[in-house]
Amino acid sequence: MSPRDRGTRWAFVAAGVLVAAAALGPWLAPYAPDAIDLAARRAAPSPGHLFGTDDLGRDLFTRVLHGARVSLAIGILAAALSVALGAGVGAVAAWTGRWADAVLMRLADAILAVPRLPLLMIASVILRPGVGTLVLLVAAVSWMETARVVRAEVRSLVRQGFVEAARAVGAGPVRSMIRHVLPGIVPTLAVAITLAVGRSILLESALSFFGVGVQPPAASWGNMLYQAQSTMATEPWLALFPGLSILLTVLIVNALGERLARDDASPGSRHVA
Amino acid sequence: MLTTVLRRVGQGVPVMLLVSVLVFALLHAAPGGPLAVYLENPGVRPEDIERLRRALGLDQSLPTQYARWLAAFVQGDWGFSLSDGRPVATRMLERLPATLELAGASLVVALLAAVPAGIAAAVRRGRWFDRAAGVLALAGVSLPVFWFGLVLQLTIAIGLGWLPSSGRSAAFGGGLADRVSHLVLPAIVLAAVHAAAWSRYLRASMIGVLSRRFITAAAARGIPRGRILLRHALRNAAGPLLAVVILDAALVVSGAVVTESVFAWPGLGALFTEALSRRDYPVLMAFLMVTSVAVITLNLAADLAHRALDPRLRG
C-alpha cells in the first residue's frame, strides 16, 4: 500500500497533519482550554483569538484543538473495535457455515435495520456513557458491514487451494485463519477501518450535538456545537469552526479510504499487503 | 417465483423478531426500567409506583412481559405516551404526514441532483466535471448533517432572509407557497448526503453499462447520443440505483431525526427527540420498532421488485 500517486500521498499527509495537530494540541494551543478571560467575552475572530472566544472568554481555537483529541480518539478507537468485531464475526460465520452463520448474519441484518442514530441516542440516555462506553456503543452498532464483507472474502479465500493445503498438513482453524486467510483480507480491513473512522466521528458528533454524547466540561466538536446553538445568530463563529473541523476531518479520512479502496482494486496490489 | 417470495419473507420474519428482542432488551436495561421517570420524581409515592408496576405487568418475568408486549404491539396496541397519556399510535400517526412530506421532498431533491450529475460525470469520465462532482460528493458524504442545517439556517434564513428558518408553516396557516418555502431548507439538508452517494453510484453503474456492446451497437445504428444515454443506458443503470435508494431507508430515518430537530419540523423525528428528553419509553420503543419494521419491509419489497423486473434474476 505504498502511496502510488499524488492524491494518495496528499491524503496521507493531510491525515498525518490532523493526527499530529490532535496529539500536539496542548502544546500548540495559545491558551489553556478553560482559561476564562472576562475582558474578551464573545470576541469575534481576530489575530489574538483566531477562532474568536465564547461566552466565558475562552479561546475557541484552543478548544477546537482540544476537542480534536476527544473526537479523533473516539473515532479511531470505535473504528478499530468495530472492524475487529466485524472481522471476527465475519470469519466465524464464514468458517463454521450453517447454523452459526445463519444466526450471526440474521443478527447483523437485524441491527442494520434499526436506524443507527436513534438507537444510539436511546442507549446513551439509558446508560449515560463515559468516553469508554461511548466507544463500545458506537462499535456495537457499526460492525455489521465489515462482517458481511469479511464473510464473503473469507469464504472465497477458503475455497482456494492454499487454505485447504494448510489444513491438510495439520494446521488448525485458528492457525489457518491467522497465517493464511488474514493476510488476504488486510487491504479490505484497512479500507473498512478508514471509512469507519469517518462514520464514528460523525456518529459521536451527532450524539454530542443532541447532548447525549461527550459531556461537558470535556470538549468534543459535537458538544461545542450543542452549546453554540443558542447563541448562533449573534456569535456564528462558535458554530462555524467546530463544524468545519468535523467536515474537514471526515473529508480527509474518507478521501484516504476512497484512495485505499481504489488502489486495492488495481491489479497486483493484493499480494503487496 | 412464489417460492422465492416465501423464502425471502421467511428470512424477514426472524430478523423482525430479533429486532423486537433487541428493542425490548434495550428498554428494560434502563435502571428502573420503563418506570424510571417516576422513580426520579419525588412527587410520586412508592405505593403508586408499585401499583403502576403491577398494572403494567412489570412484576412478571421478562419472557412473559416480552410475549405480552409483542402480542399487543402486533395488534396495534403500542401503549400510552408517558408525557400526555394519549395512545402512542395516535401520536405517531398524527406526526406521520409531516415526515412523509419531508422525506418525499428530499427524495425528489436528491434524485434531481444525483441523476443528472451521475450521468454527466459518467459521460465526461476523468474530465474536470467528473473530478469536481467527485470532490463535491466526497464532501457531501462527509457532512455533519446537523451542522449543515445550522449553516443554512444562519446564512439563507437568518442572514439573507430568503426562507423561513424553522417550522412547517407560518403561525396562521399560510398558503401553498408558504408551505413550500418552509420545506426547502430541511429537504435540502436531508437530501445532501444521499444526493452525494447516489450520484457516485449512478456514475459507476453508468460507466459499466456504457462499455457494453449493445451501446456500441446502438451508436452504430445511428441512434442519437442523448437517446442512447437515457433510453438504453439509464434504463439499465436505474435498477441497481433504485435498490440502493431503498436500502438507504434506515439512513433517512436517522437523517430525519436530526433534520426535524434542527428545523423544528413537526414530524416523527421531532417526536422522537421530544420523547427522548422526557424519557417517554413507550414512544421510543414504538419509534424503533415501527421504523425498523418499515426498513425491513422496504428492503424485502425492493429485493422482490428487483427480481420481478430483471429477467436474469428469475428462476
Chain B's closest residue to A116, CA to CA, is B254
* B150 and chain A in contact, CB less than 8 A: yes
CB contact under 8 A, B27 and A125: no
Q: Give the DSSP letter of residue B263.
A: T
Q: Which residues of A touch B261 (CB under 8 A)?
A: 210
Cα A271 to Cα A83: distance, rounded to the nearest angstrom: 21
What are the grid coordinates assigned to A186, written together? 488486510
The pLDDT score that the predictor gives to residue A266 is 45
The partner residue sitting opposite A210, judged by closest CB among B18, B138, B273, is B273
CA angle B131, B137, B138 (to 5 degrees): 90
CB contact under 8 A, B250 and A255: no
CB contact under 8 A, B257 and A127: no
The pLDDT score that the predictor gives to residue B314 is 60
What is the crossing angle of helices B88-123 and B268-277, to 10°?
A: 120
H and E: helices and strands count for chain A: 11, 0
The partner residue sitting opposite B284, judged by closest CB among A122, A222, A225, is A122
* B99 and chain A in contact, CB less than 8 A: no
> In this structure, are residues B286 and B89 in contact, taking their beta carbons and an 8 Å threshold?
yes
* B203 and chain A in contact, CB less than 8 A: no
Is residue A44 in a domain?
no
The pLDDT score that the predictor gives to residue A3 is 43
The partner residue sitting opposite A116, judged by closest CB among B19, B31, B254, is B254
Q: Mind telling me how many Å the CA of B315 is from chain A's nearest CA?
A: 23
Is residue A71 in a domain?
yes
Q: Which residues of A touch B158 (CB under 8 A)?
A: 233
Of A111, A133, A114, nearest to A124 by C-alpha is A133
Bond preceding residue A33 cis, omega within 30 of 0? no
CB contact under 8 A, B276 and A112: no
Chain A's closest residue to B26, CA to CA, is A123
* A255 and chain B in contact, CB less than 8 A: yes
Domain count for chain A, please give it. 1
* A15 and chain B in contact, CB less than 8 A: no
The pLDDT score that the predictor gives to residue B311 is 66
Q: Kindly give the parts of chain B with pLDDT less than 50.
A: none
Range 116-175 of A in CB contact (< 8 A) with B: 116-119, 121-123, 125-127
CB contact under 8 A, A110 and B287: no
pTM given for the model? 0.87
* B26 and chain A in contact, CB less than 8 A: yes
Q: How many residues does chain A have?
A: 273
CB contact under 8 A, A110 and B142: no
Q: pLDDT tens digit string along B12-66?
A: 888 899 999 998 888 887 766 666 667 767 777 778 878 877 777 777 788 888 8
* A238 and chain B in contact, CB less than 8 A: no
Q: Give which of B19, B21, B142, B158 to mutate to test A binding, by max A Cβ within 10 Å.
A: B142
Which CATH architecture fits B94-313? Orthogonal Bundle (1.10)
* B13 and chain A in contact, CB less than 8 A: no
Domain housing A23: 3-37+49-265
* A196 and chain B in contact, CB less than 8 A: no
Is residue A271 in a domain?
no
Cα A249 to Cα A59: distance, rounded to the nearest angstrom: 21
Neighbouring residues of B296: CB distance < 8 A, sequence distance ≥ 6: A109, A113, B12, B15, B16, B19
**A133, A192, A248, B26, B47 from B144: Cα distances, Å:** 22, 20, 10, 27, 47
**Number of other residues whose CB lies within 10 A of the CB of residue A47:** 5
The pLDDT score that the predictor gives to residue A2 is 45
The partner residue sitting opposite B19, judged by closest CB among A114, A126, A240, is A114
How many CB pairs lie under 8 A apart between chains A and B? 129
Domain spans of chain B, in order of start:
31-77, 94-313
Cα B129 to Cα A157: distance, rounded to the nearest angstrom: 39
pLDDT by 10s per residue, chain A, length 273: 444 577 788 888 888 888 888 888 777 777 777 777 777 677 777 777 777 777 776 777 888 888 888 889 999 999 999 999 999 999 999 888 788 898 999 999 999 989 999 999 999 988 878 888 899 999 999 999 999 999 998 888 888 778 778 877 877 777 777 878 888 888 889 888 988 999 999 999 999 998 888 887 778 888 888 888 777 777 788 888 888 989 999 999 998 888 888 776 544 444 433
Cα A194 to Cα A257: distance, rounded to the nearest angstrom: 5
Neighbouring residues of A182: CB distance < 8 A, sequence distance ≥ 6: none
A99: domain CATH number?
1.10.3720.10
CA angle A36, A38, A40 (to 5 degrees): 100
Q: Fill in the amino acid letter for A82.
A: S
Cα B196 to Cα B202: distance, rounded to the nearest angstrom: 10
The partner residue sitting opposite B142, judged by closest CB among A115, A117, A247, is A247
Q: Give which of A126, A200, A205, A234 to mutate to test B binding, by max B Cβ within 10 Å.
A: A126
Range 244-283 of B in CB contact (< 8 A) with A: 250-251, 253-254, 257-258, 261, 272-273, 276, 279
* A232 and chain B in contact, CB less than 8 A: yes
Q: Is A7 exposed, middle or buried (0-12, 13-18, 19+ CB in 10 A)?
A: middle
Q: Fill in the amino acid letter for A139.
A: A
Q: Mind telling me how many Å the CA of A239 is from chain B's nearest CA?
A: 8
Q: Mind telling me how many Å the CA of A145 is from chain B's nearest CA?
A: 13
Q: Fill in the amino acid letter for A230.
A: S
